[in-house]
Chains A and B, each alone.
Chain A
Amino acid sequence: MRFVDEYRDPAAARRAVEEIGIVSGGEHRKFMEVCGGHTHTIYKHGIENVLPENVELVHGPGCPVCVIPMGRVDDAINLAEQPGVIFTSFGDMMRVPGSTSNLLEAKARGADVRMVYSPLDALRIAQANPDRQVVFFAIGFETTAPSTAITLLKAKEAGVTNFSVFCNHVTIVPPIKAILESPDLRLDGFIGPGHVSTVIGNRPYRFLPAQYGKPLVTAGFEPLDILQAILMLVRQLRDGRCEVENQYTRAVRDEGNVRALQILGQVFELRPHFEWRGLGFISHSGLKLSEAFADWDAELRFQVPGVRVADPKACQCGEVLKGVIKPWECKVFGTACTPETPIGTCMVSSEGACAAYYNYGRFTREAAASARIPVRSA
């Protein structure tokens, strides 16, 4: 278990925790952190256990691995197994289960699947292997989409024709709307994603206070950042304010990264709808390559089955992603579904709520629930 004195500048963290307790005044508050990176930090550093009992965090759909539907993974495996293809992917996608296998198993069967750190690495592989078709499995929110866009611009400029992108990029605002319209969830506010917001800025969140009456505070990824964001949220609620605020001022500007947004507009266009695991189809929530880049679109270059696969019945990733249930309340959590043999995607990625909870929180939940772990030096 981690304690507040292990945070960067623990004295400041202690003060933030104490002030959250005072400002929230014992009133029950439920906040959702939208971003998987925040979920990871919250579990890793035991933030839930140092917060006052009346402040509850629920974990949102912000892990791009966790929201990929099974049918898209099957499509990826199909692409990887086509003759002459080098299939490149970020590491976390390798173990995500499709309906019958995953990319690692496809590699074991003989497919040329390679892990890359950046889409630019995939482009370099294509340039080094002109006689092979290189496909990049593009996933991620607006943080990652600009890297894919830059790579496509470079591919076009250099005339690299044996490179293509299997695009699964998604956008953050539509799922937040979908969650707010979910009837079984009551939230008091949101902790906004830090690095997505370096790209899109804070303006796209203004609908939250305006249309739904919910505050949002964009936060960085240090434990102290998250505590400060929670403090800003409870202050807003105490003062009767409802605004979009920015805790992560060292990186996030209101207008975002204008150049990145322009490039995204040039390379991608919105899909009419895109399927999210557990959330179903959400309008205008996915990106595909624009007409100008159709030659680099793997879905047009190759025959992709595109079959929709229903999620396993036992898996409750959908409820976890919406914050309706906690990971440990899922019927298969920690028994049939573990990081070694995941059934649902929330257990695959280290940013997934289930895997983060399984790795960091499962041993101490009961103890923490029965006797809240005190903030030292109180």
Chain B
Amino acid sequence: MTLTHADTGAAGAGGDGPYEHGLTEDLARAALALARRFHAGGTMWCASPSWTFHAHHVAVEFVHPVIMGKRALPAVVVPPGADLVASLRATVRPGDMVVVVAGTAPSDPGGADVAEVMRRGPAWGVETVWIGAGTRPPAGAADHVLWLGTDDPLVASEQFVRIYHLLWELTHVCFEHSGLLQPDLCEEEVCITCSDEGRTAEVVAVDEGGDAVVRTAEGRERIDVSLIDPPRPGDLVLVHAGSAIASLEEGRS
């Protein structure tokens, strides 16, 4: 199965079809990111609040390869009906992947939970892939937004299958080129303390003394939270030099 440039509008036509402009490159990029994470021992967590069969379908593609000789890759479905944020918070580890098939709220009732998961991706250290259709989520909502322009749920549902089949197939193409799987040489250390850096962290527990234990992509840390309003477990904060300098929850409902 192949998506041509004409299918995706990547050749510049803009496209009358359901595919978003440039989807070809985005699919390839997402597949490379997944291959690198699998290669490093990550697990893929699959969810789809409104189309549970898609979540099962994505997972089974990766776990049970249809092509002889391809390796089985660890993929797990978040149980249908489960609290998506709470389930993933309890199970994901830094280095894992979260792939979700969903629209955005309010047209997809599960879209709000999906957006919350994607927002927490940097704090959990997971790579996020959001496959969906209809109204696009805000820019930067996930690491990879693979989006269809159609509002027709039947067309969308059919095309989702095509997208995640390609995602699976391209991931295995990456495995055939071991050089692609090497860590990025440009990922050198940055000055995390003295620069204007702020890391996203999720509050795990708050002490009475103004300290909190937070979860970051690098693991758990104890930080000072006396510069911000007392956070609650689950809140996202920005951490700089051992202190929370801003809450990312203000203004959110």
- A40: contacting residue among B144, B147, B195, B229, CB under 8 A: B195
Name the distance in Å between A262's Cβ and chain B's nearest Cβ.
10
CB neighbours of A118 from chain B (8 A): 193, 224, 241-243
When the two chains form their complex, are residues B246 and A9 in contact, meaning their CB atoms are under 8 A apart? no
Contact with B along A115-131 (1 / 0, CB 8 A): 01111110000000000
**How many residues does chain B have at the interface if contact means C-beta atoms less than 8 Å apart?**
45
Binds A, one of B96-104, B169-177, B183-191: B183-191
Contact with A along B135-169 (1 / 0, CB 8 A): 00001111111010000000000000000000000
What CA separation (Å) do A263 and B228 show in the bound complex?
11
Task: Name the residue in B142, B190, B194 with the highest tally of chain A Cβ atoms < 10 Å from its Cβ.
Answer: B194
A249 closest partner in B (C-beta): B251
Q: B116 in the interface, Cβ–Cβ < 8 Å?
A: no
When the two chains form their complex, are residues A143 and B245 in contact, meaning their CB atoms are under 8 A apart? yes
What CA separation (Å) do A150 and B22 show in the bound complex?
48
Name the distance in Å between B119's Cβ and chain A's nearest Cβ.
9
When the two chains form their complex, are residues A9 and B141 in contact, meaning their CB atoms are under 8 A apart? yes
CB neighbours of A252 from chain B (8 A): 246
What CA separation (Å) do A251 and B201 show in the bound complex?
13
When the two chains form their complex, are residues A350 and B193 in contact, meaning their CB atoms are under 8 A apart? no
When the two chains form their complex, are residues A90 and B193 in contact, meaning their CB atoms are under 8 A apart? yes
When the two chains form their complex, are residues A143 and B25 in contact, meaning their CB atoms are under 8 A apart? no
Known contacts A253-B250, A350-B191; decide if A9 and B196 are in contact (CB<8 Å). Answer: no
Q: A280 in the interface, Cβ–Cβ < 8 Å?
A: no
When the two chains form their complex, are residues B142 and A9 in contact, meaning their CB atoms are under 8 A apart? yes
CB neighbours of B143 from chain A (8 A): 8-9
Known contacts A224-B140, A263-B227; decide if A349 and B191 are in contact (CB<8 Å). Answer: yes
Q: A299 in the interface, Cβ–Cβ < 8 Å?
A: no
Q: B238 in the interface, Cβ–Cβ < 8 Å?
A: yes
B223 closest partner in A (C-beta): A118
When the two chains form their complex, are residues B196 and A143 in contact, meaning their CB atoms are under 8 A apart? yes
Q: B60 in the interface, Cβ–Cβ < 8 Å?
A: no
What CA separation (Å) do A2 and B185 show in the bound complex?
12
14 further contact pairs, Cβ within 8 A, besides A9-B139, A16-B139: A10-B25, A11-B22, A11-B23, A14-B21, A36-B196, A37-B197, A91-B193, A150-B226, A194-B196, A195-B238, A199-B246, A350-B189, A350-B191, A351-B196
Q: Measuring CB to CB, which residues of chain B are less than 8 angstroms from any residue of chain A? A: 10, 12, 20-26, 29, 139-145, 147, 186, 188-198, 224, 226-229, 238, 240-243, 245-246, 248, 250-251
